[in-house]
Structure 1
Amino acid sequence: MENSFVELNGRDRAKVLFDHGTARELVGPLDNLYSPHLMPQGIVPESDDGIILMKGQIKGLDSVVISMEGAFQGGGIGEVGGAKIVAALEQTLKDNQNGHKEYPIIVFDTGGVRLQEANYGLLSISEIQNMIIALKKYVPVIGVVPGRVGAFGGMSITSAMMSYLIATDEARVALNGPEVIEQEAGVREFDSSDKNLIWNTLGTKQRAATGLVDEIVDDDVDLIKNSIVAAIQAKKDSHRTENVDFYLNLLKDIDFNQPMDTEEYRKLFPTVKAGNHHIAEAQKSATPKDKSRGRLWFEKLTGIENAESEVSTVLHATVDGKEFIAIVPDTQNKRFPRVRNGEVGLMEGFTVAKIVNQVIEEDQGKEQKRPIICIVDVPSQAYGYKEELIGINVALASSAAAYAKARQAGHPVVDFIPGDAVSGGFLAHGLQSNRMIALGDDSITIQAMSKASAARITLRTIEELEEATKHVPAMAYDVFNYTKLGALYKRIDSIKSWDASDKNVARIQKEIDAAIDSTKGQPTDLSYRYTNEIAVKEGRVATLKMRKAVENQWNN
C-alpha cells in the first residue's frame, strides 16, 4: 500500500502524477472559491469545491491534471467545481490551438451531478463534455478511474468520451447507481444489496472485457503514471462514441425479454461486426401512435402526421432545410421495456448519434450547415440491468458527442422544450445545443433526478427536498426557476405544452428561426449560457468568477 494511488486523496493523486518539483496548483483552497449553494441548505462547503487543478510535467510532457475529491459530496459536480474543470480544459485547448502541446488528464472519483445543485451540475457536465470533444482534435484526453466512488451519473457519460480510459479493479463505472435503478425500476430489476451483482455488472473487470474501459492497471502510482504516458505517446483513442454501428448491430442480437448474465454478454460481445446500419427517414402513416408532447410538436413542426421511423422511439425528418429529431414513447415496445415512456436508452442514444453523424457527413464542406432542432420531452434515461451491463453511458455519450461535433462544425443546434428534460436523457438529447427555447408551463420538469431518487441519495425526505428547492433555484424542478440560471435563450409563457394550434406552431417556428439567426457569427461553443444578461447578473456569477480566476493564474 506504500505506493497506492487509490488510497490517496484527490489532491495527492494529482500531485504524485507529476515529475518531482513541477506541479503547480491553480485556484486552490486559499483562493476560497467555494459553492454559494450549499450553506443555504445547511451543508459545509469546501474552499476548492472538491476539484483539484494542477499543471506541470509528466515524464517531461506538459500536462494538466484535474482530480475529483470523492470524499466531498461524493465527488459530485456543481457550479463552481464544474466551472473550474471547464475553464481548465478551455485554457488547455487554447494552448494546443496555439501550437503548445499540453495533455489533459482527468481523475474520476464522482457520483455525477451534485444533487444539491442539480441543474448547475447538468449544465457543467455538458460543458465539460463539449470541451473534451473539442480537445480530442488536438491531443488525446486521458481518463483515470482509481476507485472508492468510481465514475457514475453524467460523469460516466463523460468518461465514455475520453480518448483512453484507465482504471484499477477497485473502481466501478455506470450511468445509474444500483440504489437509483432499484428506486426507479424495482428490486427485481437490480438488487442494490447484492454486492456480487454490482461488481460483476459495474466493476471494471467487466467493463474492460466489454470495451467500456480500455486498460486495467494495478493500484500502483508508477504503473498508472506509465500507462498515462504510454497512452499519450501512442496517441491512443478507442473512438468509443464513434462505434455506433457496432452497438446498433449488437443490439439486434439481444433479446431484452430474456435473462442475461455477464458471462453470456461477454460471449456475445466479440462476435458482433460493425456494419453500415441504415436509419430510415420519418414517414407518414395512418396508424395512431402514443401521443406525447414530443411527438405532438414533432408532427406539428414537420407536418408529418403519425410519424414513424425505423426505430419507433426516435423520430427524425429534414423539413425546410432543418433536421428535426425527437425521442418519443412507445408503450408497445416489447424489446426495450425501460424506454416505453420516452426515456433515452441504448437504441435511442446510438440512433440519434447515427442520425446526427450522418447530417454532419452530408453537409461537410458546405458553407451553410443544416440546423438541427432537438424536440425535448425526455423523462430520464432508461433504468435497467441490461442497459447498464451493455453500457448505456456509451449510448448517451455517443449522442451527446455527435451533437457537440455538429455544433462545433457550424450546425446551429436548437432545443425546443415542450416537455420534460431530465437527467442523462437531457444530457444526451438537448444539453449540447447553442440555444434552448422552453415553454413556460408548470407541467414541465427540468432536473437531474426524480424527487424519490434524489431524496434517497441525499438522505432526505421528499418534503425536506422540496423545502431546499425554495432556497436554491438550481434544485427546483420547474422551468421558471430554471430560467434564473441563464441557460435558456427564450421562455415562452403564452403557449402551454399541449397547445399545438396552428397559430402556436407558427409562433414556435418563428422563434426557432430567430434562435438559428442569433447563432450566426457567434462562437460555436456553449458560452452563451454564461455570457447572456441573466447569467451575468444572477445565474452564473460563481461560474464567471471561477473562469476569471483560472484564466488569471494559468500562465503565472
Structure 2
Amino acid sequence: MTLDEILTGLFPDGHDVTNDRGILTGSGALKGDGRALVVGVAGRTALGIDDAIRLSRHVLASIGVDSGPILVIVDSDSQRMSKRDELLGLNEFLAHLAKCLLFADLNGRPTVGILYGHSAAGAFLATALATRVLVGIPGADPAVMDLPSMSKVTKLSIAVLEEKAKSTPVFAPGLANLAQTGAVHLIWDTSAPLADQLGALLGDMPDTRDRRGALGKERAGRLKAEDIAGRVHDLALQQG
C-alpha cells in the first residue's frame, strides 16, 4: 500500500498529515470519535538529527493536550550516517526520540507503530520499535540489522547466517520473522478497512508493559528472552 492509501484508509473522515521531505507530522480524525497524532518517516528517508529532534518536539508538545493515540508511520532507510550527524551525536538524538515516544505512551498518549515500507537499524529502533505495539502492513520490509552488518558483528559468515535464518527468526530480516519474535504485534489485512482494524486495536490495547518477549515465546520465535528478562527484573528488585 502507498502512504496516501494508508492515510485515507486510517482516516476516512479526513486528516491534515503533511510529508515534508520524508518527515510526517499532523493528525487524523479517528472513525467514531477523537483524533490521532501522526508522526513518522516516509519515502525510505534516512533519519538524521534534525529529523529526530523535530519529531521529538512534535511528540512532546502533544502530551497533556489530548489523550488520543500517536501513530508512528514508518518507511525509512537506516539512520543518516553522515559525518555531521555522527559528530553531533546522532545516537543521542535517536535515543531521545525513542524516549519521547515511551514517555508519551506512559502519559496518556498510547503509541502505535505502523510499518508499511522499509526500516532498519537505529531508525527502526527509534521509531517503530519504540511504540507500545507495532503493526505491519503486508509488503513491509524491516531489518533490525542486515546480514552483512550482522556478519561483521558476529564474525560469522553470511552463508552461516543465511542458514541460521531459515530456522531462527532472530537472524532473519522480514515482516514474518519480526512477527514471530514478537517485535511486530500483528499484521493487518489490507483487504479489510484499516480504520476498523485500528479501532479494534485501540479498543483492545495491551497495557504499557512490554510484551514482546512474551509474544516471542508464545510464537516460538524467541524462546528465552522473556524468562531471562524476568530473572533480571527479579534480581534487580532483590538488590533494591
- What do residues 358-396 of structure 1 show as CA deviations (whole Å, max 9, x unaligned)? 111423xxxxx1100111212211111111011111221
Instruction: Identify the residue that residue 374 of structure 1 maps to in structure 2.
Output: 72
- What do residues 502-538 of structure 1 show as CA deviations (whole Å, max 9, x unaligned)? xx5x62221112111112xx53232x32344x53362
Q: Relative to structure 1, is the Cα distance of residues 440 and 318 closer, same or farther in structure 2, using a 3 angstrom cutoff?
A: closer
CA distance, structure 1, for counterparts of residue 21 and residue 174 of structure 2: 29
2:223 equivalent to 1:549: no
CA distance, structure 1, for counterparts of residue 24 and residue 219 of structure 2: 38
Give the secondary structure class of the aligned counterpart of 1:468: helix
- What do residues 385-417 of structure 1 show as CA deviations (whole Å, max 9, x unaligned)? 111011111221121111001001121111111
CA distance, structure 1, for counterparts of residue 63 and residue 15 of structure 2: 23
Structure 1 residue 346: Cα displacement: 1.2
Instruction: Identify the residue that residue 61 of structure 2 maps to in structure 1.
Output: 358
Provide runs of 4+ in structure 1 moved above 4 Å: 292-296, 302-305, 551-554
Instruction: Identify the residue that residue 118 of structure 2 maps to in structure 1.
Output: 420
What is the letter of the counterpart of residue 39 of structure 2? Answer: I
Structure 1 residue 313: Cα displacement: 2.5
What is the letter of the counterpart of residue 113 of structure 2? Answer: D
Match of 1:445 among 141, 145, 159: 141
The answer to whether the Cα contact below 8 Å between 2:23 and 2:41 also exists between their aligned partners in 1 is yes
Match of 2:92 among 394, 404, 407: 394
CA distance, structure 2, for counterparts of residue 454 and residue 530 of structure 1: 21
Match of 2:37 among 323, 326, 346: 323
Ranges in structure 1 where 5+ consecutive residues have no aligned partner: 1-291, 330-340, 364-368, 496-503
Instruction: Identify the residue that residue 32 of structure 2 maps to in structure 1.
Output: none
Q: Relative to structure 1, is the Cα distance of residues 456 and 546 closer, same or farther in structure 2, using a 3 angstrom cutoff?
A: closer
CA distance, structure 2, for counterparts of residue 381 and residue 295 of structure 1: 24
Match of 1:512 among 192, 198, 201: 198
What is the letter of the counterpart of residue 390 of structure 1? Answer: L
The answer to whether the Cα contact below 8 Å between 1:436 and 1:489 also exists between their aligned partners in 2 is yes
CA distance, structure 1, for counterparts of residue 115 and residue 45 of structure 2: 14
Q: How does 1:107-126 map to 2 (within 5 A)?
A: none
CA distance, structure 2, for counterparts of residue 543 and residue 453 of structure 1: 22
The answer to whether the Cα contact below 8 Å between 2:70 and 2:111 also exists between their aligned partners in 1 is yes
Match of 1:535 among 198, 217, 226: 217
Q: Relative to structure 1, is the Cα distance of residues 397 and 379 closer, same or farther in structure 2, using a 3 angstrom cutoff?
A: same
Structure 1 residue 356: Cα displacement: 0.3
Instruction: Identify the residue that residue 157 of structure 1 maps to in structure 2.
Output: none
Q: How does 1:139-288 map to 2 (within 5 A)?
A: none
The answer to whether the Cα contact below 8 Å between 1:445 and 1:478 also exists between their aligned partners in 2 is yes
What is the RMSD computed on CA atoms of the aligned residues?
2.7
Q: Relative to structure 1, is the Cα distance of residues 431 and 552 closer, same or farther in structure 2, using a 3 angstrom cutoff?
A: closer
Give the secondary structure class of the aligned counterpart of 1:362: coil
CA distance, structure 1, for counterparts of residue 98 and residue 26 of structure 2: 19
TM-score by length of 1: 0.38
Q: Relative to structure 1, is the Cα distance of residues 295 and 422 closer, same or farther in structure 2, using a 3 angstrom cutoff?
A: farther
Match of 1:431 among 123, 126, 129: 129
Q: Relative to structure 1, is the Cα distance of residues 551 and 318 closer, same or farther in structure 2, using a 3 angstrom cutoff?
A: closer
Match of 1:314 among 3, 23, 26: 23
CA distance, structure 2, for counterparts of residue 540 and residue 465 of structure 1: 17
What is the letter of the counterpart of residue 545 of structure 1? Answer: D
Match of 1:345 among 39, 42, 48: 48
Q: Relative to structure 1, is the Cα distance of residues 383 and 483 closer, same or farther in structure 2, using a 3 angstrom cutoff?
A: same
Instruction: Identify the residue that residue 164 of structure 2 maps to in structure 1.
Output: 468
CA distance, structure 2, for counterparts of residue 537 and residue 465 of structure 1: 21
The answer to whether the Cα contact below 8 Å between 1:294 and 1:419 also exists between their aligned partners in 2 is no
Could you tell which deviates more after superposition, 476-485 or 293-302? 293-302
Structure 1 residue 546: Cα displacement: 1.8
Q: Relative to structure 1, is the Cα distance of residues 467 and 390 closer, same or farther in structure 2, using a 3 angstrom cutoff?
A: same
The answer to whether the Cα contact below 8 Å between 2:63 and 2:108 also exists between their aligned partners in 1 is no
Q: Which has the larger radius of gyration?
A: 1
Ranges in structure 2 where 5+ consecutive residues have no aligned partner: 30-34
Structure 1 residue 440: Cα displacement: 3.2
Q: How does 1:1-20 map to 2 (within 5 A)?
A: none
The answer to whether the Cα contact below 8 Å between 1:349 and 1:395 also exists between their aligned partners in 2 is yes
Query: How many residue pairs get matched?
Result: 231
Could you tell which deviates more after superposition, 318-327 or 446-455? 446-455
Structure 1 residue 460: Cα displacement: 4.4
The answer to whether the Cα contact below 8 Å between 1:413 and 1:435 also exists between their aligned partners in 2 is yes
Instruction: Identify the residue that residue 174 of structure 2 maps to in structure 1.
Output: 478
Structure 1 residue 484: Cα displacement: 1.3
Instruction: Identify the residue that residue 46 of structure 1 maps to in structure 2.
Output: none
- What do residues 300-358 of structure 1 show as CA deviations (whole Å, max 9, x unaligned)? 545569x645x4321221211111222123xxxxxxxxxxx411111211111011001
Give the secondary structure class of the aligned counterpart of 1:375: strand
Q: Relative to structure 1, is the Cα distance of residues 375 and 437 closer, same or farther in structure 2, using a 3 angstrom cutoff?
A: same
Q: Relative to structure 1, is the Cα distance of residues 403 and 475 closer, same or farther in structure 2, using a 3 angstrom cutoff?
A: same
What is the letter of the counterpart of residue 313 of structure 1? Answer: G
Q: Relative to structure 1, is the Cα distance of residues 322 and 460 closer, same or farther in structure 2, using a 3 angstrom cutoff?
A: same
TM-score by length of 2: 0.83
